[in-house]
Amino acid sequence: MHVLVAYATKYGATRGIAERIAEVLRQAGLQVTLAEVDRAGSPTAYDAVVLGSGVYAGRWLAPAAAYLKTHAGALAERPTWLFSSGPTGSGDPVALMQGWRFPQDLQALAEQIRPRDVAFFHGAIWPEKLNLAERLILKALKAPIGDFRDWAMIEGWARRITAALAEA
Ligand SMILES: Cc1cc2nc3c(=O)[nH]c(=O)nc-3n(C[C@H](O)[C@H](O)[C@H](O)COP(=O)(O)O)c2cc1C
């Protein structure tokens, strides 16, 4: 079973999450290709796909959104899992983002693809990497600064993927 773990990242937080997911899948004996989404190629080369993106102003990064649009048909034909990396701060990510779970503009596509699950993980913000506009936005929003990625939550989700694929 060959699984693609593809991601879009601006500052590396989502890459780290994708790497951890890939590690858990490999430990379970799956063949895994880990790739930035614009280098991932078609989903038709894989038996299953895990696709994730960092969230900016409520939207996925453009390369991840484009991949979902371009390959919706192929993704619908194979087990697909989607995840977003976003909120900083402790507590449930959906509660932290006032009920937000997945980009509004991609919801119809996601319904078409029928992913096995759609996860929303805590993200990470490294202020020194941000441009001035981004720093000002985060200051105005009073967003907590730091690495809030919840590795136990991420690994648990990845283990559920391995369990589902073992049944497939
Ligand atoms: C300017 C800016 C806007 C952001 N907007 C959102 C948002 O709307 N929703 C959210 O959950 N997280 C938001 N975040 C947090 C990022 O999604 C989070 O830091 C994520 O882990 C970044 O992933 P990346 O480093 O892979 O790009 C924002 C961060 C920045 C810097």
CATH number of the domain that residue 155 is part of:
3.40.50.360
Q: Is the pLDDT of residue 117 over 80?
A: yes
pLDDT above 90 for 28 = yes
Q: Could you tell which of 59, 60, 61, 85 is best to mutate to test the pocket of ligand 1, judged by most ligand atoms within 8 Å of the CB? A: 85
Q: For residue 105, what are the domain limits? A: 2-167
**Cα–ligand 1 centroid distance for 166 (angstroms):** 33
Kindly report the average pLDDT of the chain as a whole number: 97
What are the tens digits of pLDDT across the range 68-102? 999 999 999 999 999 999 999 999 999 999 999 99
Q: How far apart are CA 101 and CA 93, in angstroms?
A: 8
The token pair at 95 is: 């509660």
Q: For residue 129, give the ligand 1 atom closest to its CA.
A: 31
Taking the CA of residue 61 as reference, the ligand 1 atom at the shortest distance is 27
Q: How, if at all, do strands 80-85 and 59-60 pair?
A: unpaired
**Alpha-carbon span 66 to 38, nearest angstrom:** 9
CA 89 to chain centre: 18
Residue with tokens 């985060």: 138
| Confidence at residue 85, expressed as pLDDT on a 0 to 100 scale | 98
Segment 16-32 shows an average pLDDT of 98
Integer Cα distance of 2 and 49 in angstroms? 9
pLDDT band at 134 (very low <50, low <70, confident <90, very high): very high
CB-defined site of ligand 1, < 6 Å = 9-14, 54-58, 85-87, 97, 123-125, 130, 134, 137-138
Q: How far is the CA of 54 from the centre of ligand 1 (A)?
A: 6
Nearest ligand 1 atom to the CA of 121 is: 21
Residue among 29, 20, 100, 96 nearest 52 (CA): 20
CA nearest ligand 1 atom 29, residue:
56
Give me the pLDDT at residue 168, please: 75
pLDDT reported for residue 63: 98
Whether residue 10 is predicted with pLDDT greater than 90 in this model: the reply is yes
Domains in the chain: how many in total? 1
What is the identity of the amino acid at 157? W
